Amino acid sequence: MSILNIPRFRPTTSFREAAAFFRSFLPGGLDRAEQFAAGLSGCALAGNPVVLAPSARIALYWLLNALDIGPGDQVVTQAFNFPAVPAAICATGAEPRYIDLMPGTFEADWTTLEGVIGDRTKAVIATHLYGNPADLVTVKEVCDRRGVVLIEDCAQAIGATAGRRRVGTVGEGAFFSLGPTKNLTLLGGGAVSTADPDRAVRILEMASAHRSSGVGTSLRLAAKAAAMGVATHPVVFSAIVMPILKLFERRGTDLVHEVMQEKAGPLTGIEGARLPSRQMAAVGVAQLTRLEGTNRARVRNGWYLRSRLAGVPDLVVPPMRTGSVFMSFPVLHPRRETLALELRLRGVDTDFGFMADCSTIGVDASLASPCPNAECTAREILHLPVHPFLKKRHIDRIADAVRDTLQGLS
Ligand SMILES: Cc1ncc(COP(=O)(O)O)c(C=O)c1O
C-alpha cells in the first residue's frame, strides 16, 4: 500500500508553461493573446471568435451587455451555482430567476424552465457544471420556442461535448474561466465567445477599454501556480501539507477551502479589471497543446471511478453524460464531513467545492422561492480527486477508501 497521499487537485501547469512564461519577457517576445484566443477558438469552439476577459464573471457581464440585457430584464440560471454568476447578472441591472436542481444531481431541472420564463425573461444560462454538459437539446428547444437567448457557462467545461457539438457553440454566447485550477489556464482570467459577428465586435470594444495585467501581477500569479504545484506534489503533500490539513481539521477547518474560498457579494471593480497579460497568454498557448491529453486523463479517471463506486450503499453518484471532461468528481452523502475526515485519515484529500444554493441572491425576499434540491446538494456534496496525474491504482485506492469508510459508518 502506498504511503503517499492523494491531493484533491493538482494544477497542470509545469516546466513547459514556466519556460513559455519567462520566454515572453525576452526582447522581441510576441504577445500571444491573439494566438491563444485563435487556438481556443479552433480547438474547442468550432472557430467562433474568442475575446479574453479579466475573469469569467466579467466575460458574462460583457456578454449580457452585448445582448442589451439590463434593468427590467430577467435572466434564468440554476440555483446551485457559483455566486459570481448571479452577481454578474445583478451588475447589469437585470434580475436573476432560479431553477432548482433535479434531486440527487447538480443539473437544473429543465422540465421547469417553461414555467419560469416570463415576459421579461431575456436569457437562460445553462451551466456545464464540473465538466458535465447540460441537457442542451431540452434547453435550446425551449429557448428557441420562447424567443429567449441561450448562454452557456463553460467555466468548468472547456473541451466537453454535448451530443456532437462542443459546449460553448450551441447557445448565442458562452463564457470561460481560466483560473489556476481550471482544465485550461492562463493562471487567471477568462474568455467569452459568440458566433454573432456584431456582438463579437461590441465585446471587443468593451475589452479594449481595459488594460492588460502588469508584470507584477503576472509574476504573483505565476508564483501562486508554482506554490500550488509544489504543495500538491505527492511527496511534499504527504510529508507537509496533509499533516497540516489534519491539524486544522481537528479544529473543524478545511484550510485549503478557507484559503481559496472567496466571499460572495456584488460584482465590483469591473472598470479597473485587467486583461490577461502577454506572459499569461504565453502560458495559455503552452497549455493548449496539452488540453486534449489532460482532458482524456480526467475522463479515463472519472469513468473508472464511477464504475468502482457503483452500488456503494448510501452514496449518491450523480449522473454524468458522455462528453463530460470530469473537472471534478462530485458525490453526495448526508454525512460528508465524517466521510471527508475518514478519507483524509486514509490518505485521500477531498473538497466540498465552491458552489452554493444561490436562490436568494438578487431576489426580493418576498418573491424568493426555495430550491430544496439545490440546498440539499450544497449540504451533501463532496468532491473526490480525479485529476489527470492520477493513475488507475490511485483511483482504486480512492474507491476502496470510500467503500471501507462507508461500511464503517453504516
Ligand atoms: C461554474 C462557474 N461559473 C463561473 C465561474 C466564475 O469564474 P471566474 O472566477 O473566472 O470569474 C466559476 C469559477 O470557478 C465557475 O465555476
Q: Where are the alpha helices (DSSP H) in 242-382?
A: 242-250, 255-260, 278-309, 336-345, 372-380
C-beta of 127 in contact with ligand 1 (< 6 A):
yes
1 falls in which pLDDT band (50, 70, 90)?
low
Between the CA of 20 and the centroid of ligand 1 the distance, in Å, is 25
Q: How far is it, in rounded angstroms, from Cα 155 to Cα 183?
A: 9
Q: How far is it, in rounded angstroms, from Cα 344 to Cα 171?
A: 41
Judge whether residue 332 has pLDDT over 70: yes
Q: How far is it, in rounded angstroms, from Cα 215 to Cα 279?
A: 8
Between the CA of 57 and the centroid of ligand 1 the distance, in Å, is 6
Whether residue 165 is contained in a domain is answered as yes
80 sits in which H/E element: strand 80-81
Is the domain of 337 the same as that of 199?
no
DSSP SS3 for 174: strand
Instruction: Count other C-beta atoms under 10 Å from residue 367's C-beta.
Output: 8
**Mean pLDDT estimate for the chain:** 96
Average pLDDT of the residues in 320-348: 96
Is the domain of 223 the same as that of 198?
no
Q: What is the DSSP letter of 364?
A: -
Judge whether residue 282 has pLDDT over 80: yes
Check residue 222 and give its pLDDT: 97
CB 291 within 8 A of CB 158: yes
Judge whether residue 31 has pLDDT over 70: yes
144-148 long-range contacts, Cβ below 8 Å, gap at least 24? Answer: 146/114, 146/117, 146/121, 148/76, 148/117, 148/121, 148/122, 148/123, 148/124
Whether residue 274 is contained in a domain is answered as no
Between the CA of 175 and the centroid of ligand 1 the distance, in Å, is 9
CATH number at residue 105: 3.40.640.10
Percentage of residues of the chain with pLDDT beyond 70: 100
365 falls in which pLDDT band (50, 70, 90)?
confident
C-beta of 84 in contact with ligand 1 (< 6 A):
yes
Whether residue 214 is contained in a domain is answered as no
CB 101 within 8 A of CB 371: yes
Average pLDDT of the residues in 44-51: 95
Whether residue 8 is contained in a domain is answered as no
C-beta of 190 in contact with ligand 1 (< 6 A):
yes
User: Distance of CA 398 to CAs 309, 392, 403, Å?
Assistant: 10, 10, 9
Q: How far is it, in rounded angstroms, from Cα 223 to Cα 385?
A: 24
Is the domain of 252 the same as that of 201?
no
Is the domain of 125 the same as that of 227?
no
Atom of ligand 1 nearest to the CA of 181: 14
- Which protein residue has the closest C-alpha to ligand 1 atom 7? 56
Average pLDDT of the residues in 346-359: 97
68 falls in which pLDDT band (50, 70, 90)?
very high
Check residue 76 and give its pLDDT: 98
Judge whether residue 2 has pLDDT over 80: no
Domain of residue 302, residue span: 219-268+288-409
Is the domain of 199 the same as that of 223?
no
Who wins on pLDDT, 27 or 117? Answer: 117
C-beta of 276 in contact with ligand 1 (< 6 A):
no
C-beta of 91 in contact with ligand 1 (< 6 A):
no
Kindly state the cell numbers that stand for 93.
441591472
Whether residue 124 is contained in a domain is answered as yes
- Which of 182, 208, 234 is where one domain is finished? 208
- Which of 165, 189, 208 is where one domain is finished? 208
Is the domain of 203 the same as that of 234?
no
- Which protein residue has the closest C-alpha to ligand 1 atom 2? 155
216 falls in which pLDDT band (50, 70, 90)?
very high
Check residue 28 and give its pLDDT: 73
Hey, which of 57, 152, 268, 377 would you mutate to test ligand 1's pocket, going by the most ligand atoms within 8 Å of its Cβ?
57
Between the CA of 409 and the centroid of ligand 1 the distance, in Å, is 34
Is the domain of 36 the same as that of 158?
yes
C-beta of 82 in contact with ligand 1 (< 6 A):
yes
Average pLDDT of the residues in 5-17: 95
Atom of ligand 1 nearest to the CA of 58: 11
DSSP SS3 for 158: coil
Is the domain of 42 the same as that of 112?
yes
The domain tally of the chain equals 2
Render pLDDT for 175-203 as a digit per residue (tens, 0 to 9): 999 999 999 999 999 999 999 999 999 99
Judge whether residue 408 has pLDDT over 70: yes
Q: How far is it, in rounded angstroms, from Cα 106 to Cα 135?
A: 12
Whether residue 4 is contained in a domain is answered as no
Kindly state the cell numbers that stand for 274.
485587467
Check residue 364 and give its pLDDT: 87
Average pLDDT of the residues in 14-34: 88
Average pLDDT of the residues in 335-346: 96
Backbone angles phi, psi at 96, to 5 degrees: -75, 145
Is the domain of 399 the same as that of 253?
yes
Check residue 366 and give its pLDDT: 83
Q: How far is it, in rounded angstroms, from Cα 243 to Cα 261?
A: 21
60 falls in which pLDDT band (50, 70, 90)?
very high
Is the domain of 86 the same as that of 188?
yes
Q: How far is it, in rounded angstroms, from Cα 143 to Cα 153?
A: 15
Between the CA of 219 and the centroid of ligand 1 the distance, in Å, is 22
136 falls in which pLDDT band (50, 70, 90)?
very high
How many CA atoms lie less than 13 Å away from 269 in the CB half-sphere? 8
Between the CA of 387 and the centroid of ligand 1 the distance, in Å, is 18
Average pLDDT of the residues in 293-317: 96
410 falls in which pLDDT band (50, 70, 90)?
confident
Is the domain of 245 the same as that of 394?
yes
Q: How far is it, in rounded angstroms, from Cα 346 to Cα 60?
A: 40
